[in-house]
Amino acid sequence: MSRVTTPPASQAIRPAVMLHSRPARVIASRVLVIALGVFAIGAPPAQAQSNPPPGWVNPFPAFRIIGPLYGVGMEDLSVFLITSDEGHILINTGLDDSIPYIRNNIESLGFRLEDVKIILTMQAHWDHTAAMAEIKELTGAEVWATPKDARVLEDGGFSDAHFGGRETFKPVAVDRVIRQDDVITLGDLVITVHEHPGHTEGSSSYTFQVNEAGRTYNVGIVNMGTINDGKHLVVNPTYDNVAVDFATTYNRQKQLDVDVWVSAHNAQYNMHDKYTPGQAYDPETFVDPAGYIRAIERLESAYLGVIADELDQ
Ligand SMILES: [Zn+2]
């Protein structure tokens, strides 16, 4: 799968090391794809993944969210690094072209991609998983996932109830299955797993606490219950129980005690309103419990709207 998208202008200021790490054959295939594209002007893209939105491919400098949690992904594609002195956890991996950017972001913080020990996913959709197989290979890290995201990761997206086969990625073997309330420990990290199904059958979130400046912050890396266009909830449902899954997720998420929250796409937690590159680190920057509840309530009312529309047909 090659990106048609040409590198954005802002890439020009990226360090040379990152650009040099791009293999020549990728550049060659890009040129070929662009050349072919000239003859296909006007034709719709065969797959959304061959024409991703700019926010998924635009680089964004690494930033510290709170304590050991950092954003190391693209402008609107979240990849999270949680660091410990016994290795790191990486949550999401972006598109398959994202790897040099992720590596560069991790190194800019003084850490190494090779020290990632565990890779987690929030939702087994290609925009968050396409680079996972390669990052697993590069790092030797284990991939841990909920049962139903594990199934989709291992078949490269073919068994996804909604996109099944339309949007695929390189399959990746899952080393350990994780479930609701499991606790992941690595070094001094203690992270709780939350199953938040609906967006994908195996969508998941992660919570942990950070103590800083005499305060304890409850931190949530929360997969929001957004409903992809064309998904059916009650009439010919996209999968059995999808409506119940979303309702369960909204209820569980509203009960979580969250001070700082982030999501799979930066726009979902209004990251760009809260943080500008270069801004000094402050543990308060992403504290937003009211915004968190508002975001869930907005999604829940959208969900009720989709159901009402289906029943109205
Ligand atoms: Zn998704």
Burial 133-169 (b: 16+ CB within 10 A, else e): bebbeebebebbbbebbbbbbbebbeebbbbeeebbb
1 CA to centre of ligand 1 in angstroms? 18
Domain count, the chain: 1
Residue 201 lies in a domain: yes
Distance 204 CA to ligand 1 centre (A): 12
* SS3 at position 120: strand
Residue 2 lies in a domain: no
pLDDT of residue 51: 80
Q: Would you state the torsion angle of the CA atoms of residues 216, 110, 96, 277, taken in this order, to the nearest 10 degrees?
A: 70
Cβ atoms of residues 52 and 5 within 8 Å = yes
pLDDT at residue 7 above 50? no
Structural domain contains residue 153: yes
pLDDT score of 46 more than 80: no
Residue 164 lies in a domain: yes
Do residues 303 and 251 touch, judged by C-beta distance below 8 A? no
Which residues have beta carbons under 5 A from ligand 1 (an ion)? 123, 125
The torsion defined by the Cα of 179, 183, 185 and 188, in degrees rounded to 10, comes to 150
Task: Provide the pLDDT confidence category of residue 202 given band limits of 50, 70 and 90.
Answer: very high
pLDDT computed for residue 32 by the predictor: 37
- For ligand 1, the distance from its centroid to the CA atom of residue 2, given in whole angstroms, is 20
What average pLDDT does the chain have? Answer: 86
Flag whether 268 is in a domain. Answer: yes
Residue 123 alpha carbon to ligand 1 centre in Å: 6
pLDDT of 109 > 90? The answer is: yes
- 156/153 Cα distance (integer angstroms): 5
Q: What is the pLDDT of residues 124-172, one digit of tens each?
A: 998 899 999 999 999 999 999 999 999 999 999 999 998 987 888 999 9
What CATH code is carried by the domain that includes residue 18?
Answer: 3.60.15.10
Ligand 1 center from residue 187 Cα (angstroms) = 30
> Is 80 exceeded by the pLDDT of residue 11?
no
Specify if 98 maps to a domain.
yes
Chain centre to alpha carbon of residue 206: 12
Percent of the chain with pLDDT over 70: 84
Other CB atoms within 10 A of residue 16 CB: 7
- 8-12, 94-98, 164-168, 276-280, range with greatest mean pLDDT: 276-280
216 C-alpha to center of ligand 1: Å? Answer: 31
Going by pLDDT thresholds of 50, 70 and 90, the confidence category of residue 49 is low
Asked whether residue 3 is assigned to any structural domain, the reply reads no
pLDDT class of 27 with cuts at 50, 70, 90: very low
Ligand 1 centroid to Cα of residue 39, in Å, is 31
Structural domain boundaries enclosing 296:
9-312
Examine residue 73 and state whether it is found in any structural domain, yes or no. yes
Per-residue pLDDT averaged across 93-102, rounded? Answer: 92
Q: How far is the CA of 166 from the centre of ligand 1 (A)?
A: 13
Record the tokens describing residue 38, joined without a space.
């000239």
| Confidence (pLDDT) at 38 | 32
Q: What is the mean pLDDT of residues 168-179?
A: 96
